[in-house]
Amino acid sequence: MKRRDFLKTTSALMGGTILYGLGQPALAQSEPVKGGTLIWGHSETTQNLDMHQTGTASTGRVLQNVHDSIVTVDENLTVIPNLAESFEQSEDGLTYTFKLRSGVKFHNGKNMTSADVKFSFDRCRNPETGAVNFEVFNAVESIETPDDLTVVVTLDAVNAPFLSRLAENGAGVIMPEGSGDVQGTTPIGCGPFKFVRREFGNEVELERFDDYWGGPAYLDRVIAREITEPTVRLTGLRTGELHMINDIPADRIAEIEGDDSLQVVSWFPLNWDFVNFNHEFEPFKDPKVREAFDYMIDKEVLLEGALWGQGATTASPSYPTSASYNSDLGQRPQDIEKAKALLAEAGYGPGELSVVFKVTTNYPYHVESAQIMLEWFRLAGVDASIEQLTWSDWLSQVWVDKDFQISMMNFFTLWEPDFLYYSLWNTEGAFNYRKISHPKVDELTAQARVTVDPTERAAIYKQVQQVIHDDTLDIVLWFRNGTIGAQPNVQGLDTIVHPNGSNLRFHKVWLAEA
């Protein structure tokens, strides 16, 4: 299955460390220059622009520059103040007091107060909002605003990850009071850039917000052009039509790294990928069938075939530097005969099981992965076919309607283990589009929420990973590398990647004079 000399860059990335690399800049770093419009070739299309409602990292990557959260994380993923100047937690773990920064302005000119925080939190936890992170606030008993710059959140039960869940814009974003109705089309925040316009499926335009509390950005504007086809994106960079792109085509990275006229930023990991089963599709109700599919896949060959080796295989989706990462897990090796035997035990002989693999063209390497896997499925006696969907159709059919049999997806920014395991594998999890309902997982993820000691919590999440693996609730494949290609005049690239490895921040990026 190998298709020539694949790129072998992952060996230096292992060992539990997130690594960032900046390729040799074609232009030496200069003093920041104010002005100019940066054209970014965005590898994905944005969807609903409401930061509470969107579940896509593609949209969040743009809105990261429009919104700010009440707290954030540093390079070590430690929670630190942001829109809150400081925060305190009571000894019993039930009360959180946030002191807000004075003078923070929203893009509509309004000063941020505690009323905006209360509005944002109440909106996120209101079931009618349809917020993907609603369960962050499940234990909230009351939200009080004793003055304009103080917010007191009281819980009715300990929720150990509460503060860290607020460090992501999804739950922790602060919107102006009463702005909910317009957030989906014209988002209003207090970030370094304000939203100007969006041509759906084409581009999003952002403009510098001069009254940003953290100091104005250097760039006048950022235009995110949505170009999902990798070759077209790379051509735009080479011709100078684009200042930068994310997701350099995996098979062209070495070529771009060797081009002295371009810059390359790379880091590990950007995201993790997994194969999904619909647990209400009759064959996949049987764990033997799910395990059989796991044995059909050669993860290393798939990594090379679809990603040209730009990543590292893993059996755990936990952030590789997280204390929760279960390093004892190992992926099942490819064993077609074992897969056939498991299918036979489940009552499926050769040709008696048919599956449709729904995959989105938003991620071209998912299409390639599915094409490779289908050959293995057929070797194991499974009648398999592929249905390629646009990103909007995949979200509608697979994510929302849960109308699929087998699929593939990747997730970004899930560095916080509660966000990862509760959202994706708990029966009530907001990201549980696979209809998984596993009593042990539900028990463990609920137990972790009331376990304050971080070592004990990490041990619980390791148990969750073991269950996911043993019962093949999904098939975790790999971590994928992140890459950015840029013109030589794009400066400040060492600041652009958020500590979570997914979001891109343009606040300190500038265009040097040629």
396-410 per-position pLDDT tens digit: 999 999 999 999 999
Concatenate the DSSP letters of all residues of 75-120 into one string: TT--EEESSEEEEEE-TTS-EEEEEEPTT-B-TTSPBP-HHHHHHH
Residue 179 above 90 pLDDT? Answer: yes
CA distance 92 to 341: 53
- b/e per residue, 171-194, with b = 16+ CB within 10 A? bbbbbbbebbeebeeebbbbbbbb
At 293, which helix (H) or strand (E)? Answer: helix 287-296
pLDDT at 58: 87
When the pLDDT of each residue in the chain is averaged and rounded to a whole number, the result is 92
At 449, which helix (H) or strand (E)? Answer: helix 439-449
- 3-class DSSP state of 314: coil
CA distance 354 to 356: 7
pLDDT at 29: 60
Residue 142 tokens read as: 């009351």
pTM of the model: 0.88
Q: Are strands 263-277 and 474-486 parallel, antiparallel or unpaired?
A: antiparallel
Residue 390 above 80 pLDDT? Answer: yes
Residue 147 tokens read as: 């003055």
Q: Are 234 and 264 in contact (CB under 8 A)?
A: no
At 230, which helix (H) or strand (E)? Answer: helix 230-239
Q: How far is CA 385 from each of CA 279, 355, 359, 363, 479, rounded to the nearest angstrom?
A: 19, 7, 11, 18, 26
pLDDT at 168: 83
Lowest mean pLDDT segment, chosen from 12-16, 225-229, 311-315: 12-16
Residue 12 above 70 pLDDT? Answer: no
Using a pLDDT cut of 70, give the percent of the chain over it.
Answer: 94
Concatenate the DSSP letters of all residues of 315-374 into one string: S--S-TTSTT--TT--PPPP-HHHHHHHHHHTT--TT-EEEEEEEETTSHHHHHHHHHHH
Residue 22 above 60 pLDDT? Answer: no
The pLDDT-based confidence of 169 (bands split at 50, 70, 90) is confident
Measured in degrees and rounded to the nearest 5, phi and psi for residue 267 equal -155, 165
- 3-class DSSP state of 431: coil
Q: What is the pLDDT of residues 478-511, one digit of tens each?
A: 999 999 999 999 999 999 999 988 899 999 999 9
Most confident of 17-21, 44-48, 158-162, 414-418: 158-162
Domains observed in the chain: 11-49+186-268+481-511 (3.40.190.10), 65-178 (3.90.76.10), 272-480 (3.10.105.10)
pLDDT at 55: 80
The pLDDT-based confidence of 28 (bands split at 50, 70, 90) is low
